[in-house]
A = this chain, B = another copy of it.
Amino acid sequence: MQTLHVDLAERSYPIYIGSAVLGSKEIFSKHIHGTQVAIVSNQTVAPLYLKALQSALEGYSLATVILPDGEAYKNWETLQLIFDGLLDARFDRKSTLIALGGGVIGDMAGFAAACYQRGINFIQVPTTLLSQVDSSVGGKTGINHPLGKNMIGAFYQPMAVLIDIDTLATLPRRELCAGLAEVIKYGLICDQQFLGWLEVNIEKILALDPSFVTEAVEKSCAAKARVVALDERESGLREILNLGHTFGHAIETHMGYGVWLHGEAVAAGTVMALEMSRRLGFIGAEVRDRGIRLLQRAELPVVPPAEMRAEHFMEHMAVDKKVQAGRVRFVLLRQLGDAVVVGEYPEKILHDTLVADYRAIVRQL
């Protein structure tokens, strides 16, 4: 097991990464302060891992809230089920909430923990690769609004994150691949050496070789923790974590939540961000193409949906959280391993990026 520390002054917390972490009584008892513990999971994950978690929590007063599975349920109505469960069990403000599941569960349970009685203890047990390397680290929580993704939420840090890589054995391959989009992102934005390591080992990760999976998760969490430690509330630097996300969110919104997985939309969005970086003269075609090839080897889409026109992107991006005073800002690569947020650019470059022939780019690789 490896232990990483996210350094956020009095809100600092450890991330435990390894096999069988889920069943570790010692780790839980270290981070649970009261006697009341609520587990929030979903209908897919609970049958697989709830029992093991409950065994590790023997002796606590336990409540369990099982939500329907999917981004479509990341809304207020479902969040309300968590509050109902906590209030029905008469849980007080010293209680602890544990999220057992992927990013949707982590985001919703975290937001519920942030809001319940104005904030209770919170522990993340992410069970998908995407949530292990991304959403469980950094304290972003929230729900969707009909007019935009993650529009309602809070910055709320957990007491600890427990990443049990054994849970990836039951993860559908499509979701494993989607998680790799964020892993590859860390290499692109801030760790050239890690990108090189991924280019050598991506197939071993896909085959779930434990030491390679642990290494990939550890390096990803470490990259994210470094960035978050410098900018907890996303007032600047942290935005670089959103490489590909502005285009990606537009794809998710346009296609309907859940039609493209988040990581799939980010993968195609990352290619668009690389192309925009190239058109601005920041990087050459060879850097863009290294990104495309690695995403392809991770079985990810590298072109936006055929049906999406420039105006669709513009419309959806107008409500992106990175918009400032009406102008859409993009995370771009200044060079490999060095990302930057750009709000000043010729409109023509953006337009050309939106209408570029990505199929042709990919064909010529």
Interface residues of A (CB under 8 A from B): 34-36, 76, 80, 83-84, 87-88, 90, 92-94, 114-119, 140, 142, 145, 147-148, 150-155, 233-234, 318-319, 321, 323-326
Contact = CB atoms under 8 A, between A and B. Distances in A.
Contact of A155 (B118, B153, B234): B118
Contact of A92 (B34, B119, B154, B323): B323
Nearest to A111: B115
Contacts of A36: 325
Contacts of A324: 92-94
28 contacts: A34-B325, A76-B80, A83-B145, A84-B147, A87-B145, A87-B147, A87-B148, A90-B319, A90-B323, A90-B326, A92-B324, A93-B321, A94-B324, A115-B142, A115-B153, A115-B154, A116-B152, A117-B153, A118-B140, A118-B142, A118-B150, A118-B153, A118-B154, A118-B155, A118-B233, A118-B321, A119-B155, A119-B233
B325 A154 contact: no
Contacts of A326: 90, 92
Contacts of A155: 118-119
A327 to B, nearest CB: 9
A154 B119 contact: yes
A13 B83 CA distance: 32
A83 B152 CA distance: 8
A77 to B, nearest CB: 9
B325 A90 contact: no
A32 to B, nearest CB: 13
A316 to B, nearest CB: 12
Given A90-B318, A117-B153, A118-B233, 19 more contacts: A35-B325, A76-B80, A83-B145, A87-B145, A87-B147, A87-B319, A88-B147, A90-B326, A92-B323, A92-B324, A92-B326, A94-B325, A114-B154, A115-B142, A115-B153, A116-B152, A118-B140, A118-B150, A119-B155
Nearest to A84: B147
- Of A117, A145, A154, chain B has the most CB atoms within 10 Å of the CB of A117
A147 B86 CA distance: 10
A84 B325 CA distance: 19
Contacts of A150: 118
Contacts of A151: 83, 87, 116-117
Contacts of A321: 92-93, 117-118
Nearest to A93: B321
A35 to B, nearest CB: 6
Contacts of A119: 154-155, 233
A325 B92 contact: yes
Contacts of A88: 147
A28 B36 CA distance: 44
A323 to B, nearest CB: 5
Nearest to A234: B118
- Of A87, A115, A326, chain B has the most CB atoms within 10 Å of the CB of A115
A253 to B, nearest CB: 13
- Of A34, A83, A318, chain B has the most CB atoms within 10 Å of the CB of A83
